[in-house]
Amino acid sequence: MSALFAGASWSDVADWVGELWLGFIISLRVTFFSLLFGLPFGLALALGVQAKLKAVRWASLAIVEVGRGAPALVLLQFIYFGLPSIKLPITSFMSAVVALGWCTGAYTSEIIRGGLEAVPLGQREAANALNLSPIDALRYVLVPQALLVATPALLGFSILIFQGTSLCFTIALQEIISRAYDIGNTTFLYFPALAIAGLFYAACCIPASLVVSYVEQRVGRHSLR
């Protein structure tokens, strides 16, 4: 451990941990709001891609392809620097939420669409036999089963979005990586500062990955039944 923090005293490390903790909270907040916006958006896009109206289908495809085709860093830069240039000022936090929410919606739409297509044909026929309207069939039969199938992949993608918040330092958001760079710029001890930031990510992502594996096993057993 002493080699990891070479050049930094333990009192320095203690101070840095407190500073990086504040950035870690901001990273979690960005992740939460990005998923809060992005997951319902992904469901809407998944349904839009399968819509019968060509205008809805093509508009949904365009949003999905841009969100998947453009790197998250480009989306962040586009929202943060592009919108103010057309008289739409936006904060760095909101830029991060909109950009990562768009990315989340685009990618999870394909995950959810795959879940919808995985619902057995018999379930659709049963909904028709019960004379359910298309909206009720989606609400009570198709979407719940599709989300059950898609849950492990959605959880796994949520971890990627959390890791993706590290890109937000490029738009002046004071998340954990930005604060680690600030510490490095002040002390010239970049390695230990970034190493501590990495430990924060590991402490969050490793247990989350174990949870995803557990959920995947549970969903797999449920599907086999």
Q: What is the pLDDT of residues 91-103, one digit of tens each?
A: 999 999 999 999 9
Three-point CA angle 171, 79, 194, nearest 5°: 25
Instruction: Quickly count: other Cβ atoms within 10 Å of residue 114's Cβ.
Output: 14
Domain extents in the chain: 10-224
Instruction: Look at residue 145 and tell me whether its pLDDT is greater than 70.
Output: yes
Q: Which of 137-141, 172-176, 220-224 has the lowest mean pLDDT?
A: 220-224
pLDDT tens across 76-87, in order?
999 999 999 888
Model confidence band, residue 141 (pLDDT cutoffs 50, 70, 90): confident
pTM score > 0.85 for this model?
A: yes
Asked if 140 and 171 count as a contact pair (C-beta separation under 8 A), the reply is no
pLDDT tens across 13-34, in order?
888 999 999 999 999 999 999 9
* Burial environment of residue 196 by CB neighbours within 10 A (0 to 12, 13 to 18, 19 or more): buried
Percentage of the chain with pLDDT > 70? 94
Instruction: Look at residue 7 and tell me whether its pLDDT is greater than 80.
Output: no
Percentage of the chain with pLDDT > 90? 63
Distance CA 217, CA 221 (A): 6
C-alpha gyration radius of the chain: 21
Instruction: Quickly count: other Cβ atoms within 10 Å of residue 195's Cβ.
Output: 17
Higher pLDDT, 134 or 81: 81
Distance CA 197, CA 169 (A): 13
Distance CA 214, CA 5 (A): 34
Instruction: Quickly count: other Cβ atoms within 10 Å of residue 47's Cβ.
Output: 18
Instruction: Look at residue 88 and tell me whether its pLDDT is greater than 80.
Output: yes
| Token pair in block for residue 111 | 């995950």
The distance between the two most distant Cα atoms of the chain, rounded to a whole number of Å, is 72
Mean pLDDT, rounded, for 159-188: 94
Give me the CATH topology for the region 10-224.
MetI-like fold (1.10.3720)
Distance CA 113, CA 47 (A): 7
- Give me the DSSP letters along the chain: -TTTTTT--HHHHHHHHHHHHHHHHHHHHHHHHHHHHHHHHHHHHHHHHT-SSHHHHHHHHHHHHHHHHS-HHHHHHIIIIIHHHTT----HHHHHHHHHHHHHHHHHHHHHHHHHHHS-HHHHHHHHHTT--HHHHIIIIIHHHHHHHHHHHHHHHHHHHHHHGGGGGGGT--SHHHHHHHHHHHHS-HHHHHHHHHHHHHHHHHHHHHHHHHHHHHHHHHHH-
Model confidence band, residue 224 (pLDDT cutoffs 50, 70, 90): very low
| Token pair in block for residue 162 | 């959390």
Model confidence band, residue 160 (pLDDT cutoffs 50, 70, 90): very high
Q: What are phi and psi of 15, to 5 degrees?
A: -65, -40
Average pLDDT for the chain: 89
Instruction: Look at residue 4 and tell me whether its pLDDT is greater than 90.
Output: no
